[in-house]
Amino acid sequence: MEWNQQTLEFLSNCFLHTLSPSPEPRRRAEALLLDASHRPNYAFAVLCLVAEPSVDEQIRQSAAINFKNHLRHRWAPADETTPILDSEKEPIKALIVSLMLSSTPPIQTQLSEALAIIGNHDFPRSWPALLPELVSSLHKASQASDYASINGILGTANSIFKKFRYQFKTNDLLLDLKYSLENFSAPLLEIFLKTAALIDSSSSAIPNSLGPLFESQRLCCRIFYSLNFQDLPEFFEDHMKEWMTEFRKYLITNYAVAVAADGLAALVDDLRAAVCENINLYMEKNEEEFRCYLKEFVSAVWILLGNMVSQASSNRDQLAITAIKFLTTVSTSVHHALFEGEGVIQQICQSIVIPNVRLRDDDEELFEMNYVEFIRRDMEGSDLDTRRRIACELLKGIATNYKNRVANLVSIHIHSLANPVANWKDKDCAICLVVSLATKKAGGNSVSTDLVDVQNFFGSVIVPELQSPDVNGFPMLKAGALKFFTMFRNHIPKQAALQLFPDLIRFLGAESNVVHSYAAICIEKLLLVKDEGGRARFNADDVSPFFISLRDNLFIAMKFPESEENQYVMKCIMRVLGVADVNGEIAGRCIDRLKSILSEVCRNPKNPIFNHYLFESVAILVKRACEKDSSLISAFEGSLFPSLEMILVNDVTEFFPYAFQLLAQLVELNRPPFSPSYMRIFKILLSPDSWNRASNVPAFVRLLQAFLQKAPHELNQDGRIGHVLEIFEKLVSLPGSLEQGFYVLNTVIENLEYSVLERYICHIWEVLFKQLQHWQTVQSRKTVKLVKHLLILMSLFIIKHGSNNLVDTIHPNLFKSVLENVWIPNLKNIRGAIETKLTSVASTRLICESPRLLDATAVEHWGKMLDGIVTLLSEAERDRIEDEREMPDIDENVGYTTTFVRLYNAGKKEEDPLKDVKDPKEFLVVALARLSAIYPGRFPQIIWQYLNSDNQAALLHFCSTYNCQIL
């Protein structure tokens, strides 16, 4: 795309129409621009349009945004996107800095971001002219006191220097940092001191000049942070006094007149927050060099926070948080003695901690208006950067060295706050202190605190709130009480908790979304509590007396406005169904309600977390009900099939993986012959087009496995086995579905008779060995995974169809290569109890049954194979079968993407194909003893030659343990 008048008119028209309120011309213009973006020199042409003064400002601004986004995807693409050519990059670099500085603020902002994108990839090695140009421009702008340009340059420098904060320290990074320091440290200090002098000399008569000056100082502070993040540079150490003098001045100076006159409060606070981050950085990383300034900064920050106590506005949160973080860092350092003075800790508690922990109007508004965000902050720990949390972190920091003093002091405050005459917020503050200062015990979810006697506090402060007859009175206080119960659930005796179950159920009917959500969370977490030995504290008998009211109130909770898709309530439903005694009547009522909810969310899936727990609830209901009464299967089919059919017919793609997992669960619960409905689904499964969507593949495999296990005879009709093997071949050819392909093939091998497989088996080995050769050629990381799955597959084949059938279907030379390159070197790397048992027993059968390995020419292979078996078995203790774990929480960041999310409660139970073999070690030595009796004197020499000393000793121990002898 050449830059000429025709290009100017074309691009101008396109960007003009992208601003059109009418969708048709806007879409047409966007399509034209997208097509043009694939042509060479497009980015440079758009930048030239931005630089054209005759073009309307709005068009140029739209072009600047397009230019920035184009660079983001094309400058250094991580995928297959066509990159911008080097021949186009150089003129862009030559133009962009000067254009950015001469543009209006809206365009300057876009070009500054675009420049930072280039700088992140090219600076400094591929753009050595950038920093000298920025420094030169900064010098000129400084002489002219042009703070629009100064701040544009500093903003750009801030963006490109940010990489020094976030990247790991490497030699290349340190070289880039050294270059940046050499070129920018002195100019940065120069403009910082000049701006400081201008601020000092500015009178209240011209407050409008202070805004750009404060912004300039803030940007200087952010650059300071980036350049000092890795190490303390020599230049900054030499000029520390200048920097620290100005930093302290901004913390202690009152700019009230200027702020009031021009509304600069936010700018001043942003500058102070940046200063607090800088001194906190020095406190964390350069404590020794910073210590001479420490006392005066602690004093300055303390006074600043004291002045903010009466100002509870959220506009000052960032400043309060960064200031308290600095004091927290000091409290845990070797300089903690600054807090040791008489009354200091008490003053911190009274003037900083308590005021910042108390609820504010903003908290109440969030509680009422956005319950999900409130819960994320309050219950789920995303409140790290809130005043409440950081104030408690300060107290924790001081308690690191003054534990008893803090405990005594806070305990007094808690008891005084917990018994207010009229102010419920004081009680909430007390509860929040106890909860926030609790510490999590290592290796579990249990928490503890030294501040109060938990059970006494629970009985005197929490229980009265939980037993309050008015579930809607003081909802924030009720939420705090429920949170306390949830956090300290392990400390509350079972009987006391059971007595409160009816109250928790009542709170499910509270009008406040937060309160009924917290009640659901509390119940759900209580049902997860385990006593010593891993036994669940609450069982079906405990839940049974409350089940009907609990079930009804959970479903009622989802009828409140904004809670129709309440993920906390749905998760509680899932947990209750997993514990309760589910009979046919209960199952029928629950499935009807769940089906009704499913019908609603199918129309517009919005909350992926809620929907996941909805499907988990259905799956666990089906699982537990049908385990007790198989006659319920047909009832569940009648209830669920219309919903599942609706998902497929209406193409609700977000729910496809869930629907197929539920179908797999129903197939596994069924007995052949299958109904026509199931066979129609089976036919869809065998269609190659059904497997094109990657997100469906794991669920499809799960469903196909269920059909193959329950009705393997169906495969031998209408050429179905050929279709299944085509699917297997397609899956193993793609890196992303390699594992799924083996799952299909394993199920085929395990469930079909050899007479059915015989005509296909040579082709199967050919496909797999070609794939192995391919991945080895390209040196892919997938090779390791492929080898592991191939070894497990061949072991399964031996177990099901005999070692001779394996050996006879592989060419002799190829089989030798498989032994040398796949089986022997990788056998010892197998993990997992079932996999270890399978491969060790199959390998034992191979060396004890196969004529090829018993041939005198295969001595080395025989010996090395035995060495691998003994290694595998002697290390198998580390892979003991563990108790089934609780269902993991779904990732709270999950969305409707191509990622497959497994339904835990509809999961395929791992089957042991060797149930008759109790101990693979015994199987090994019994087989060896039997073989050595046939060939006496042959194997001791081989064992001595090819087994290492540890494995010889291990084999001898196995023989002694099972009273077997190798002759």
Give the pLDDT confidence of 716-761 residue by residue, as tens digits: 777 788 889 999 999 988 878 888 999 999 999 998 999 888 899 9
Query: Residue 40 phi/psi, 5° resolution?
Result: -60, 145
Structure tokens at 79: 């995928």
H or E element at residue 646: helix 633-649
Beta bridge partners of 806: none
H or E element at residue 447: strand 447-448
Contact 516, 510 (CB under 8 A): yes
Give the mean pLDDT of 274-298. 95
Interhelix angle 833-849/782-801, rounded to 10 degrees, is: 60
pLDDT at residue 382 in the model: 59
Give the mean pLDDT of 874-901. 52
pLDDT at residue 692 in the model: 83
Range with lowest mean pLDDT among 68-82, 242-256, 795-809: 68-82
Range with lowest mean pLDDT among 580-584, 701-705, 741-745: 580-584
Q: Residue 756: how many CB atoms within 10 A of its CB?
A: 15
Structure tokens at 521: 């969370």
pLDDT at residue 59 in the model: 94
Candidates 459, 526, 543; CA nearest to 487 is 526
Confidence class for position 551, pLDDT limits 50, 70, 90: very high
**CB within 8 A of 664, min separation 6: which ones?**
699, 702, 703, 705, 706, 906, 908
The 3-state DSSP class for residue 548 equals: helix
H or E element at residue 43: helix 42-51
Q: Residue 721: how many CB atoms within 10 A of its CB?
A: 21
Give the mean pLDDT of 886-899. 49
User: Residue 949 burial (CB < 10 Å; 0-12/13-18/19+)?
Assistant: exposed
pLDDT at residue 281 in the model: 96
**CB within 8 A of 356, min separation 6: which ones?**
320, 324, 387, 388, 390, 391
Query: Which stretches of 360-488 are DSSP H helices?
Result: 361-369, 371-378, 387-399, 403-417, 424-436, 454-457, 463-466, 475-487
The model's pLDDT over 132-178, given as tens digits with 9 standing for 90+, comes to 999 999 999 999 999 999 999 999 999 899 989 988 889 999 999 99
- Residue type for 552, please? D
Contact 471, 516 (CB under 8 A): no
Which has more confidence, 13 or 261?
Answer: 13
Find how far residue 557's CA is from the centre of its chain: 29
Q: Report d(CA 152, CA 111) in Å as an integer.
A: 10
Confidence class for position 1, pLDDT limits 50, 70, 90: confident
Is pLDDT above 70 for 331? Answer: yes
Q: Report d(CA 901, CA 898) in Å as an integer.
A: 9
Torsion sign, CA atoms 761, 759, 837, 904: positive
Q: Report d(CA 928, CA 916) in Å as an integer.
A: 18
Q: Report d(CA 549, CA 519) in Å as an integer.
A: 14
Residue with tokens 């397609």: 730
- Residue type for 115, please? L
Give the mean pLDDT of 48-76. 93
Range with lowest mean pLDDT among 308-312, 483-487, 529-533, 733-737: 308-312
- Residue type for 216, please? S
End-to-end CA distance of the chain: 84
Is pLDDT above 60 for 879? Answer: no
Give the mean pLDDT of 858-876. 89
Mean pLDDT of the chain: 88
Range with lowest mean pLDDT among 112-126, 276-290, 868-882, 920-934: 868-882
- Residue type for 227, please? L
Structure tokens at 178: 């050294």
Is pLDDT above 90 for 899? Answer: no
Contact 865, 847 (CB under 8 A): yes
Contact 903, 661 (CB under 8 A): yes
Q: Residue 778: how many CB atoms within 10 A of its CB?
A: 8
Beta bridge partners of 439: 448
Burial 30-64 (b: 16+ CB within 10 A, else e): eebbeebbeeebbbbbbbbbbbbeebeeebbbbbb
The 3-state DSSP class for residue 311 equals: coil
Confidence class for position 896, pLDDT limits 50, 70, 90: very low
CB half-sphere exposure, 90, CA atoms < 13 A: 2
Burial 288-299 (b: 16+ CB within 10 A, else e): eebeebbeebbe
Torsion sign, CA atoms 687, 688, 689, 694: positive
Interhelix angle 147-161/130-143, rounded to 10 degrees, is: 150
Is pLDDT above 50 for 706? Answer: yes
**CB within 8 A of 776, min separation 6: which ones?**
783
Q: Report d(CA 564, CA 556) in Å as an integer.
A: 10
Contact 684, 690 (CB under 8 A): yes
**CB within 8 A of 4, min separation 6: which ones?**
none
Q: Report d(CA 708, CA 723) in Å as an integer.
A: 13
pLDDT at residue 878 in the model: 46
331-to-283, 328, 334 alpha-carbon distances in Å: 11, 5, 8
**CB within 8 A of 475, min separation 6: which ones?**
367, 510, 511, 512, 514, 515
Contact 225, 277 (CB under 8 A): yes
Q: Report d(CA 294, CA 279) in Å as an integer.
A: 9
What is the per-residue DSSP string for 795-832?
Answer: HHHHHHH-HHHHHHTS-HHHHHHHIIIIIHHHGGG--S
Maximum Cα–Cα distance across the chain: 109
Q: Report d(CA 295, CA 307) in Å as an integer.
A: 19
Range with lowest mean pLDDT among 123-132, 361-370, 849-858: 849-858
Confidence class for position 287, pLDDT limits 50, 70, 90: very high
Q: Report d(CA 844, CA 627) in Å as an integer.
A: 37
pLDDT at residue 409 in the model: 83
Which has more confidence, 282 or 439?
Answer: 282
User: Residue 241 burial (CB < 10 Å; 0-12/13-18/19+)?
Assistant: exposed
What is the per-residue DSSP string for 246-294?
Answer: HHHHHHH---HHHHHHHT-HHHHHHHHHHHHHHHHHHHHH-HHHHHHHH
Please work out, in degrees rounded to the nearest 5, the angle formed at the alpha carbon of residue 624 by the alpha carbons of 713 and 914. Answer: 45
pLDDT at residue 626 in the model: 87
Range with lowest mean pLDDT among 75-79, 217-221, 516-520, 675-679: 75-79
CB half-sphere exposure, 910, CA atoms < 13 A: 8
User: Residue 431 burial (CB < 10 Å; 0-12/13-18/19+)?
Assistant: buried
